[in-house]
Amino acid sequence: MNKYMIYLNTKRCIGCHGCEIHCKANKKLPFGAILCEIDHEPLVSIKGVPKTEFSFRSCYQCDDPYCASICPTQAISKREDGIVLVDEEKCIGCMACAGACPWGVPQLNQEKNKMVKCDFCVDRVDIGLKPVCVTKCTTQALRFVTLTRF
């Protein structure tokens, strides 16, 4: 079972797309790859105020990730805590994972010719920090949640 998830408090989200750039800057991604996405529904007028609901999407860290099973070099694996991550040493940039993922989550870092995907900033999580999108969220709308089983 996944240990973590990223939760968006849509009441605080202002759709500023900061998370997308925080992520790109942290992972030093070139033009092209964007690992998380803020989106919103079409506006609907509620009690005279046009409103919308924001959504945050990165990787769902699937229980049985297609991206991992299709990888010819076993570069993608799922850790005990649920995080699905790419081992850059093993990755050959064949993009099979991008095709296998129903949402096209893994993307090609064209500078390195390696696949890249949201791994909850695993290097930060491992030293007790939060993913960069959560840490730097402009209005502190994103939260890094540890899931517990009841």
Partner 1 sequence: MKKNVYSMCGMCTVRCPIRVEVEDNEVVWLEGNPYLLGGALCAKGSAGTALVKDDERPQQPLIREGGRGAGRWRKASWSEAFDYVTEKLKKIKQEYGPESLVVSSRGGPWQGMYKTFCHAFGSPNYTNHDSTCGRNTHHASLSVNGVGRKGFVYDIKNSKHLVLFGRNMFASLRIAENLQTMDMLQKGGRLTYVDVRQTMTGLKATRFFQVRPGTDYALTLSFIHEIVKRQLYDNVFIEKYVTDFEQLCTFIEEYTPAWAAKECGVKEKSILAFIDEVAEDMPQVIFHPGWMLSRYKDSFYASRALHILNVLMGNIEIKGGLIMPKGPGDCGKPGIRNFDCPKPDIKRADGVGWKYKHFDKGPGLQHLFFDAMRTGKPYPVKAWIAMRHDPFTAMPDPQAQKLAFDNCDLLVSIDTHYSEFGWYCDVILPESMYLERDNPVCVQKGPKPRLAVRRKAVEPVYDTRPGWEIFKELADRLDLQDYFPHSTIEDIWAWQLEPTGLTIDDFQEKGFVELTDEVIMYDRDSLDGKIKTPSGKIEIISSKLTDAGLESLKPYISPPKPPKGQFRLVFGRSAVHTHGHTINNILLYELMPENTLWINTRVASKLNVKEGEIVDVIAADGFKQRIKAHVTDFIHPECVFTVHGFGRQVPLQSRAYHAGMSDQKLMVGMLDNWDRAGGGMNLCESFVTVRRSARNPKRRVEL
List of residues contacting partner 1 (CB under 8 A):
11-12, 14-18, 20-22, 24-26, 31-32, 34, 43, 48-52, 135-141
Closer residue to partner 1 (CB): 14 or 92 = 14
Beta bridge partner(s), residue 46: 49
Beta bridge partner(s), residue 83: none
- Give dist(CA 41, CA 18) in Å, integer: 18
Sign of the Cα torsion 111, 23, 85, 61 reads negative
Structure tokens given for 41: 């529904």
Task: Give min distance, CB of 41 to partner 1, in A.
Answer: 11
Task: Give min distance, CB of 145 to partner 1, in A.
Answer: 17
Task: Give min distance, CB of 42 to partner 1, in A.
Answer: 9
Closer residue to partner 1 (CB): 63 or 88 = 88
